[in-house]
Amino acid sequence: MDGLRVLITRQQIAAKVSEMGARITADFAGEPVVLIGVLKGSTIFLADLARQIQLDASFDFIAVSSYGNAKQHSGEVRLVKDVDHSLEGKNVILVEDILDTGLTLGYIKSLFQAHQPKSIKIAALLDKVSRRTEPIEADYVGFAIPDEFVVGYGLDFAERYRNLPDVCILEACSDGA
Ligand code: 5GP
């Protein structure tokens, strides 16, 4: 498609997601886990990751809105949809498409700590390491990527491109700032 350049192929994604699932399976050693997806970007990653986790796994979803536009985070995050079930005593794995400044996951993680889960981990498919402003890291990371605006595999630009099977750089949109 015009203006799109493949950064990570579907084959690379599948291999990495399978590795991540195997690590999670080994780390939790037979214990149940709750996968919590951050709508909507994480849905495709969560669906694939869940099928690579050989544990008793349940799903829940939250939605947040961050003020600002697609490329510029205002620093304010608001919970739009909370989890449906209590997380008390559970092994929680927050599943996110991309870790950028860290504001979103920092906010969600501190919010969930108040639920007193047994453990709380973060699985992020992509990590824009150079953009981080918050002291937060993912426990399971797929790929470290450069500071480019990416779409596909769940990630959108104005709700488009989520269904692309590869992670692509949206060239018209990446200013590298
Ligand atoms: P953070 O709070 O870590 O700055 O931002 C995380 C959120 O910003 C992601 O969940 C995603 O919605 C959005 N985001 C950050 N970088 C990109 C990107 O390159 N492409 C897309 N589509 N969304 C991004």
Is 90 a domain residue? yes
Give the count of domains, the chain.
1
Q: What is the pLDDT of residue 55?
A: 98
Question: Which CATH number covers residue 31?
Answer: 3.40.50.2020
Would residue 176 count as lying in a domain? Answer: no
The pLDDT value given to residue 174: 56
**Crossing angle of helices 10-28 and 43-50, rounded to 10°:** 60
Indicate the pTM of the whole model: 0.93
Specify the residue with its C-alpha closest to ligand 1, atom 19. 149
Evaluate whether residue 174 is within a structural domain: no
How does pLDDT run across 6-38, given as a tens digit for each residue?
Answer: 999 999 999 999 999 999 999 999 899 999 999
List the residue whose alpha carbon is closest to atom 23 of ligand 1: 155
Q: Is residue 125 part of a domain?
A: yes
| CA triple 137-143-146, angle to 5 deg | 90
- Is 62 inside a domain boundary? yes
Q: In whole angstroms, how far apart are CA 33 and each of 12, 29, 63, 65?
A: 25, 10, 20, 25
Query: Whole-angstrom Cα distance, residue 147 to residue 104?
Result: 17
Any domain includes 66: yes
Domain limits for position 123: 11-145
Counting as low any pLDDT under 50, the low residues of the chain are 176-177
